[in-house]
Amino acid sequence: MTILSDTLTGARSLLTGMKVTLKHCFRPPVTSQYPREKLEMSKAYRNVIVLVEVEGLGSHDCIDCNACVRVCPSDCIVIEGERPEGLKRKRATLFEVDFALCSECGLCLDVCPTDTLGYSREYDQAGYQRADFLYDLIEPWREGEEACRERLREAEAEKAATRAAAKKAAAAKKAAEMDGAGQSDA
């Protein structure tokens, strides 16, 4: 009787397993078919940092303030910069991050005064040597840097002209008020 009972229990178990298999066989896959299919990561996804493009500028807006360098607990950020001729603010010429050391804590994003740092949406970064994780974040922006600097110069000149016109209008208004006050006294 135990042989028959064991056989029936095994058959029942096999049929239950086949039922589950057939039920899930015709459903869409739960996992992505990596590397043929890549997922779009959400905005909450935290990965390595990148320089974010500023709308209207066509480039990053890193001003080489070194706030991210000072706050980084992993000491993995190196920034160098210069003040281009005709501009008031500095521009970063090197923004090097050693992602082998980076803990992706996000402190650098929090202290950035220009909000030029953001998280990358890439999730398949791999390397075989430590040097594979040393990135210069300025590199993608180097080609258009001179055009960006020219746009910044034009924007600063436009702001200066607007300020000068406002100052001239305020002076003219004040002079008109003084003339009006002087005529009423006479």
CATH code for the domain of 118: 3.30.70.3270
Asked whether residue 59 is domain-assigned, the answer is yes
Residue 44 in domain: no
71 in a domain, yes or no? yes
State the distance between the two ends of the chain, measured CA to CA, in whole angstroms.
129
pLDDT of residue 156: 87
**Inside any domain, residue 138:** yes
Structurally, the chain folds into a number of domains equal to 1
CB 137 within 8 A of CB 97: yes
Residue 63 lies in a domain: yes
Q: Does the predicted TM-score (pTM) go above 0.75? A: no
pLDDT for 16 equals 93
Ordered mean pLDDT values, 10 residues apiece, the chain (186 residues)? 87 92 84 82 86 87 94 95 88 93 92 92 83 91 88 87 90 82 59
Report pLDDT for 116. Answer: 92
At 181 the pLDDT is 66
Q: Return d(Cα 21, Cα 9) in angstroms, integer.
A: 18
The range of the structural domain enclosing residue 134 comes to 49-150
